[in-house]
Amino acid sequence: MTKKSYLILEDGLEFEGTGFGSDMETIGEIVFNTSMSGYQEVLTDPSYSGQIVTMTYPMIGNYGINDDDGESSRIQVDGFVVKEYSKTYSNFRAVRSLGEYLKNAGIPAIEGVDTRKITRHIRDRGAMRAGIFHDKKGALKRLLAHPKMEGSDLASGVSCREPYDYGDKKDGRPKVAVFDFGVKKNILTLLVNTGFNVTVYPGSMPLRQVLKERHDAIFLSNGPGDPDAVPYGKDLVTSAVKEGIPTFGICLGHQFIALGLGARTFKLKFGHRGANQPVKNMITGNIEITSQNHGFAVDIESMKKIRDIEITHINLNDNTVEGIRHKKIPLMAVQYHPEASPGPHDSQYLFNEFYKMIKR
């Protein structure tokens, strides 16, 4: 049974559509993703915690949902917005429909709205709070009482609670400690495939406690929220620099490394979310087509002032910082997601560079 639903933004803009998925209502930061496929990966990416995602591609759901492509064990978005939901799906791996998947997870969604208008509005006005409601009465008041993304530590809500090993352990492999701020499954898989023994730790666990297990390197994962609101992320980097242990960070991990080195971060107007972001490697001159999902970025002027830090990658759309490395100690980071393979393999060399840091 279909149900009339409303998408309402905090500046008062309203859209009427049809609800699918869960019958619940939801509030979060509304953002848009420009990927043409990969909606299951988007839904399960912990970096989307606290957000309502609008897909710009007009038809979503046509290849269903399978049991293998999730980036975590559950749906992480707070809501989902599409132009047209395909109730009929066809794929040899599919086991259920998108609508069924959302309903079972308790995640509300809305279709039949003008996603082009929503996207243009966000580009003009910036990402903002929004909600999917069944009754408009009092909705705007509830929206304005909801916390903003700025100042929100969302990483603690998606991190693991206890350490665990990922993948098969093999003798002679270097050991990497992954600090989980919302890590994607495919990152862990690529670390294993590169040749690491992987152990995942809660993001808030002190480095000194982790290093008792004699790890050869540490990895700082992706995750949601405002990096400035997660002081233990910055403190982790400060400790890692003192120890001189090989360190690699992706996405939120990249932002933590920048903060730990003394740079600043800021909130982008509408963020980078999609599988088609062009990034220039400033060392090789190569252009990488990258997958990205972040609403905050590293301030380039503050980064340029830090001694012994080299900016290695730049976003060609807006010249924001996409990668850094230290000239004297084994430390590097990128803002984008090399494991997502939109290129398809433009950026996987980064995992090999991380491995070589340890083998030197």
| Residues labelled as active-site residues | 251, 337, 339
Per the listing, tokens 């980078």 go with 272
Of the candidates 84, 87, 81, 83, the one whose C-alpha atom is nearest the C-alpha of residue 63 is 87
Of the candidates 317, 300, 296, the one whose C-alpha atom is nearest the C-alpha of residue 127 is 296
Alpha-carbon span 281 to 284, nearest angstrom: 6
Whether residue 154 contacts residue 50, with contact meaning beta carbons closer than 8 Å, is answered with yes
Quick one: tokens of 287? 């252009």
Q: Under DSSP, is residue 73 helix (H, G, I), strand (E, B) or coil? A: coil
Total H helices, total E strands in the chain: 11, 19
Q: Under DSSP, is residue 175 helix (H, G, I), strand (E, B) or coil? A: strand
Question: Positive or negative, the Cα torsion across 114, 117, 123, 128?
Answer: negative
